[in-house]
Amino acid sequence: MKKTARIIEKLYIFLILIAAIVFFGIAAPNFFTWLNLTNILIQNSYLIIATIGIAMIMISSGADLSVSYQIGIVSVVLGKLMTKAGVGIVPSLIIALAVGALLGSVNGICAIKLKVHPMVATMATMTIYQGIAFVSSNSETYFDFPDAFKTIGQGKIGPIPICVILMVIAVLVGWFLLNKTYFGRYVYSLGGNEEATRLAGVNTRKVRMMIFLIAGLFVGVSAIVLTARTGSASAGIASDAMFSCFTACILGGISFAGGGGNILNVIISVLILGVLSNGIQMMGGSIYAQYIAKGILLVAAIAYDNYQKARRMREDK
């Protein structure tokens, strides 16, 4: 009994994904096709890349509410550079990544200097970024990207879409950083107990800053993939991203308090959300029906997080 419980606990996230796929496979016609399943992967690749960055922040007991409009700003930057200013693809990409890193760093500086919880600091920057994204683009949508750029989001190498390859690389990099390097260790330690980590000689401010900067880079890559895939750039291109990233992190077992969580579970959680959206769409549900389902999922994830915490506390006693 106990053994089964432990296996379920380890694999619960996988089981939910499989259950969701099976459910929609039966309930929705055309869901269980190769084309649709690869579509889900392609559509969610940008979210997975962004979520890796957000997961790092959340493991270190931080939060980032501004991710939607970080993507928005980077997307607008790409649009302006390539479709208006005529800047080449490579310089545009480099500038886009730099802007992502910059936006992440601003979040980091605000959280550290204001000495407030990053949740509060990024709530402020979220609004600022939203404003900047819309003002700088005049609420315009940019089209006419060079084909070579769109290949990043739409092209394939053999049978595999390039954006999925980029996503896999991002996952590997994220996993490697968190699980193999000492930077990753610091991320977990910071979430476990910041003061104890500082007294262990770790420069906690620098580490927190690095986390936000690296998260900004992931968000930058995410924005590039999304802009290239849709072939358009606009301020509100990813306005739902924040909710998805956050829900995926909680569902994937990163507790609010930080200090724990497995990046692979988080990524599977993004896919669960993706399957949910797609499945509901296939069954003829509207975007608003998807909101309801995702909201319920978040409530369930939080409840499960609390349950886990209470159980752990009982065990420790």
Stretch that binds other proteins, among 194-202, 221-229, 231-239, 303-311 (CB under 8 A): 194-202
Q: Does 60 bind other proteins (CB under 8 A)?
A: no
Can you tell me which of 139, 181, 286, 306 binds other proteins, judged by CB under 8 A? 181
Angle between helices 34-59 and 67-79 (to 10 degrees): 120
The answer to whether 224 and 81 have CB atoms below 8 angstroms apart is no
Q: Does 180 bind other proteins (CB under 8 A)?
A: yes
Q: Does 182 bind other proteins (CB under 8 A)?
A: yes
Q: Does 147 bind other proteins (CB under 8 A)?
A: no
Residue among 256, 244, 239 nearest 139 (CA): 239
Q: Does 285 bind other proteins (CB under 8 A)?
A: no
Stretch that binds other proteins, among 149-157, 198-206, 237-245, 280-288 (CB under 8 A): 198-206
When the beta carbons of 259 and 285 are compared against other proteins, the nearer one is 259
Q: Does 260 bind other proteins (CB under 8 A)?
A: yes
Residue 86's CB: how many other CB atoms inside 10 A? 9
**Among all chains, which residue has been given the structure tokens 């399943």?**
37
Can you tell me which of 69, 186, 212, 218 binds other proteins, judged by CB under 8 A? 186
Q: Does 197 bind other proteins (CB under 8 A)?
A: yes
Q: Does 210 bind other proteins (CB under 8 A)?
A: no
Find the shortest distance in angstroms from Cβ 201 to other proteins.
Answer: 4
**Among all chains, which residue has been given the structure tokens 């065990």?**
315
Can you tell me which of 25, 155, 192, 236 binds other proteins, judged by CB under 8 A? 192
Residue 191's CB: how many other CB atoms inside 10 A? 24
Residue 179, CA atoms < 13 Å, CB-side half-sphere: 11
Stretch that binds other proteins, among 197-205, 231-239, 242-250, 286-294 (CB under 8 A): 197-205
- The answer for residues whose C-beta is within 8 angstroms of residue 13's C-beta and 6 or more apart is 251, 252, 253, 265, 268, 269, 272
Question: What is the C-alpha separation between 197 and 48, in angstroms, rounded?
Answer: 29
Dihedral sign from CA coordinates of 217, 218, 221, 222:
negative
Stretch that binds other proteins, among 22-30, 151-159, 185-193, 265-273 (CB under 8 A): 185-193
Amino acid at site 105:
S
Question: What is the C-alpha separation between 265 and 125, in angstroms, rounded?
Answer: 28
The answer to whether 70 and 216 have CB atoms below 8 angstroms apart is yes
Can you tell me which of 7, 18, 160, 199 binds other proteins, judged by CB under 8 A? 199
When the beta carbons of 59 and 248 are compared against other proteins, the nearer one is 59
When the beta carbons of 147 and 315 are compared against other proteins, the nearer one is 315
Q: Does 189 bind other proteins (CB under 8 A)?
A: yes
Question: What is the C-alpha separation between 184 and 190, in angstroms, rounded?
Answer: 10
Q: How many residues bind other proteins (CB under 8 A)?
A: 22
Site for other proteins, rule CB under 8 A: 180-183, 185-186, 188-189, 192-193, 195-203, 259-260, 316
